[in-house]
Amino acid sequence: MSAADESEVGRLAPGLRLALPRVPHRGRVGEVRATSAGSSMELHDFRAYQPGDDLRQVDWNAVARTGEVILRVRQDEVSPRVEVLVDASRSVALSPAKEARAREVALLTVEVGTRQGLTPTLLTSGARPERAQGQVCRSALRAVAFDAKDDLAVALGRMPPLRPCGLRVVVSDFLFEADLSGLVARLARGASALFLAQVLDVEDLEPSGGEGARLVDSESGAALEELLTEEVLAAYARRFAEHQRSLRTAAARARAALMTAPASEPLSALVRGPLRPLFLAGGGA
């Protein structure tokens, strides 16, 4: 287990705030909101049905218009909440630095959100998926094992369901074969804003090769290539570039912010650089 630098997180958190959306909730069927403040039972928005939702909140008129099962979302359902989803697959623990940065980004989100008055929820996709809320998110992050043998796209099917929230932050390397548009749309569902924190190791960005070196699937342990020849490395670079283009396109379609963070850089540098869309300067309890 690679420990996050909690002292660095504690030093940075007081000077930061999360980039909260201007609109409290974004539904998939338009952006229909109440225009005045009022009771917590005031109608606020609409969103698509998710398994486990209360069927009493189904808007049958919207179902008739769209052919989809649409729920009325009340003000109390979209109260200020930040949901942090950590991809706890083996791939994210490719190196101690990569694992540490992933923990630190998740912990900093929890700490800054808490100082900002948000209720944090943590979900992890390890071999034993976990959900934690409030103060216990810190200890849950310390304890999470990056031991899942499947990728995030598959793990979502066995994890606790995502819930409506003001802000959702997903920490992963996103280095897996999947329908990226479908995955990102699923991650965006029910959130007012989605941030994808892509933590990548040096070997993810540019495999070094060398005599006897091989590409290995981190989850299965299977060798993907016999030897890292120049041709293999060039093919990897092309596939990686195409993968990143597809991920950026998927994020743009879902109006999500994609932030690619090199694990070789310290957290403070990442906050000043690629993570700036999420962590704004000017914190305060």
This prediction's pTM: 0.78
pLDDT tens for 187-218 read: 999 999 999 999 999 988 988 755 444 444 44
The string of DSSP codes covering 226-264 is S---HHHHHHHHHHHHHHHHHHHHHHHHTTPEEEEEETT
Q: Would you state the pLDDT for residue 101?
A: 97
Separation between Cα atoms, residue 69 and residue 33, nearest integer Å: 18
Contact present, 155 and 124 (Cβ < 8 Å)? no
Q: Would you state the pLDDT for residue 69?
A: 82
Write down all domains in the chain, each with its CATH number in brackets: 6-22+78-281 (3.40.50)
Q: Would you state the pLDDT for residue 37?
A: 30
Q: What are phi and psi of 253, to 5 degrees?
A: -65, -35
Which ranges of the chain have pLDDT less than 70? Answer: 1-3, 22-47, 50-53, 72-80, 209-228, 284-285
Q: Would you state the pLDDT for residue 137?
A: 94
Q: How far apart are the first and last CA of the chain?
A: 31
